[in-house]
Structure 1
Amino acid sequence: MPNSIRYHVAGALCAAIVTAPTPGATQAVTPVEQRIRAHVEANTESAIALLERSVNINSGTMNKAGVEAVGMLFAGELQPLGFRTSWIAMPPVVNRAGHLVAERQPRRRRGRAAPLRILLIGHLDTVFEGEGQQFVRTDSIGTGAGTSDMKGGIVVMVQALKALASVGALDDMHVIVVLTGDEENAGDPMELARDDLIRAARRSDLVLSFEGGSDSTAVVARRGSSDWVLAVTARQYHSSGMFREGAGYGAIYEAARVLTEFRTALAGQPLLSFSPGVIVGGEKVSYDTTMMTGTASGKTNIVPPSAFVHGDLRFITEGQLDSARAVMREIVARNLPGTSSAIHFSKSYYPAMAPTPANYSLVAT
């Protein structure tokens, strides 16, 4: 997603959230809705200031202190609106900062049915670490790590809630907010990393996500995502013996073979994608799968004995995932002479949400 946000778009989206008409119906904007919209417009500069404060906090996923600091910033915005907030720290095994959970109960009114429970979701962490970056405003455009993905979305959420509170509408709503701290690089095991979000979803009647998207498309499905790591070992030999029976082909040629065969065998399958995002190879190689960083050293006159490749695999159904993994395992097993390859697939991953007739029907309406 582009690393910028247009303020007038954010303001319009905020107004649309709180004044959206029923699909297919034509209705005038009510006086209350006009007041909500006016509140949004009157507080544009304060929203931009909040965005700037959040962007200037480095909250790359693995910067735990920064992620929590952004969470505390937004907790401070929600508490005056009547939300009870809590920071849910992750256990050490997950190796992530944690999540912000906030909830506001509705005012009890005798004889009235309980309102729908609305879950608002987003994430505090950013793709880019943002080290040394600062928020920069140029006319109606702001840039900086996380301005669009998705600190800008959280600001829109907060401004919408403030606008509702300004007319008393929030008093009759049951709202739960969950802002995760590891959306860009989820903690493992996923069962622990997503437990709080899942439990909140089970308590809710509907969910609104505030991460930006294209105005020209409607989403009826979501691909799942799984990581894989290819580890290759080979005989170390003087490069003058390359391709000979005693030396073999080396780890880097074997890694290249595997990746090429992945591409030729699987590329073009509908909605399936796979990307080798990081590769290291040479004589001495180290790789950290959590931080996704590695080191490699060697010489140009040796047959390299080691290589690692770390990538992702995105799929639309569990069947497609199983099939792709089976093909990848078969390819890995066909080693070049003098090499040995093994592939590891992450045990916990984001499951796919395949398209359904009901989703297509919803879009059609």
Structure 2
Amino acid sequence: MGLDLALPVGELTRVLVDVPSVSGDEGTLATAVEEALRSLGGLEILRDGDAVLARTGHGLPARVLLAGHLDTVPVADNLPARLDGSRLYGCGTSDMKAGVAVMLRLAALLGTPASGSAPAPESRPGPVSGAGAGARHDVTWVFYDNEEVAAARNGLRRLAERHRDWLQADLAILMEPTSGEIEAGCQGTLRVVATVPGRRAHSARSWLGENAIHQAGELLTRLARYRPRSVTLDGCTYREGLSAVRIDGGVAGNVIPDSCRVTVNFRFAPDRDPKAALAHVAEVLDGYDLVLDDSAGGAPPGLSAPAAAAFVAATGRAPVAKYGWTDVARFAELGIPALNYGPGDPNLAHTRDEYVEVAVIEETERVLGSYLVGRGTP
């Protein structure tokens, strides 16, 4: 298939949505993105599996990296896309093919048409023609795979291991859905499994045993009484949360269980690292056997970095804390300031009725176009 980057950004989003790209099956879309970028010319291109990267090389003082994932969660009878008034419905509209469409339009804005393979400058989107004419920053685009599944498969993680030089930038903008607002940093997250012991017995003689499920009540009471911190960093307030998210126990309908497992999730502010977060959970749940199931550090807001501060000033938006974990944390690990900024609504991600407001996609394109070249796209 071919992608026409001269399409209005809302229509381009619709085209992208209609290409199914459930995690692990991004190949068709990745190839279409690669071909569209190569047709522009003036960009260095790299393909790694189903990740596609492109960058300008004009020797400008600063480099901005735009990142977005190509994959979606499984389709839920919500393809093909449909337009209803100002809303575009379909799998991946918010998370995050609207962001990918903006990235591609900006590539068309900053790239140079290859002979006979892309629209002429006067018919292409945006006011800029020529290789990076009017560009304020060099730009790197990272379209990656397998974001919606286990971290071990994450395409950005793979790229950091194989092509670290491609990720170098003064500022990374992750185009995850934020409803067109700037969400700074992200929370860290960890899961532990707490095991509550008991003693097995026949349920007809329950007094001879110790019911592990009943014993878990004290642990659950601790969690219910827990008062999480609110931490303000760079003017962004992160609220922590410690929650039971799963309980497993029981042997049979006539057996007093001798073991109960409670999975606990801790969403922590980015002033803690995973080690400190685990120590805090161990203190709260002192006396219980805890096994770490998963953890990932958060990312500080990074708003004091010159490139991040300049972007905030240019957009005129007041940053807020990012609730949840995103791949900005990977950039933070690399020492690269990173922000979340995208057109989708995070509250609609992964839902059957997922949609995106076309006006917000257009506004995101305008804001980023203005920041990168000094003028917005029409």
Per the TM superposition, whether the score is higher than 0.5 is: yes
For residue 57 of structure 1, report the CA deviation from its aligned partner. Answer: 4.3
1:222 to 160, 182, 185: 185
Contact 2:185 2:300 in 1 (8 A): yes
1:129 to 47, 69, 74: 74
Question: 1:313-349, CA deviations, whole angstroms, 9 ceiling, x for partnerless residues?
Answer: 32223437555422422444435xxxxx4231535x2
In structure 1, the residue matched to 2:297 is 350
Amino acid at match of 1:247: G
* 1:249 and 2:211 aligned: yes
Amino acid at match of 2:164: R
* 1:205 and 2:166 aligned: no
Amino acid at match of 2:16: S
Listed as ranges, the matches of 1:256-267 within 5 Å are: 256-267=217-228
RMSD: 3.8
For residue 149 of structure 1, report the CA deviation from its aligned partner. Answer: 1.4
- Change in CA separation of 1:171 and 1:324 when aligned onto 2, cut-off 3 Å: closer
- Change in CA separation of 1:79 and 1:279 when aligned onto 2, cut-off 3 Å: farther
* 1:100 and 2:59 aligned: no
| Larger RCO, structures 1/2 (Cα 8 Å, 6+ apart) | 2
For residue 230 of structure 1, report the CA deviation from its aligned partner. Answer: 0.7
Q: Which runs of 5+ in 2 are unaligned?
A: 112-120, 122-127, 232-238, 317-378
Amino acid at match of 2:17: V
In structure 2, the residue matched to 1:326 is 279
Paired residues, number: 280
For residue 269 of structure 1, report the CA deviation from its aligned partner. Answer: 4.4
**Aligned equivalents of 1:225 and 1:241: distance in 2?**
45
Contact 1:281 1:307 in 2 (8 A): yes
**Aligned equivalents of 1:211 and 1:131: distance in 2?**
20
Contact 1:176 1:200 in 2 (8 A): no
**Aligned equivalents of 2:107 and 2:214: distance in 1?**
56
2:242 to 266, 271, 274: 274
Amino acid at match of 1:352: A
TM-score by length of 2: 0.60
- Change in CA separation of 1:272 and 1:234 when aligned onto 2, cut-off 3 Å: same
Contact 1:125 1:183 in 2 (8 A): yes
SS in 2 for 1:223: coil
For residue 196 of structure 1, report the CA deviation from its aligned partner. Answer: 5.2
* 1:304 and 2:257 aligned: yes
Contact 1:178 1:197 in 2 (8 A): no
TM-score by length of 1: 0.61
- Change in CA separation of 1:207 and 1:317 when aligned onto 2, cut-off 3 Å: closer
**Aligned equivalents of 2:53 and 2:261: distance in 1?**
38
For residue 159 of structure 1, report the CA deviation from its aligned partner. Answer: 1.6
User: Identity over aligned residues, as a percent?
Assistant: 24
**Aligned equivalents of 1:73 and 1:227: distance in 2?**
36
- Change in CA separation of 1:146 and 1:259 when aligned onto 2, cut-off 3 Å: farther
SS in 2 for 1:64: coil
**Aligned equivalents of 1:310 and 1:198: distance in 2?**
36
1:239 to 193, 200, 203: 203
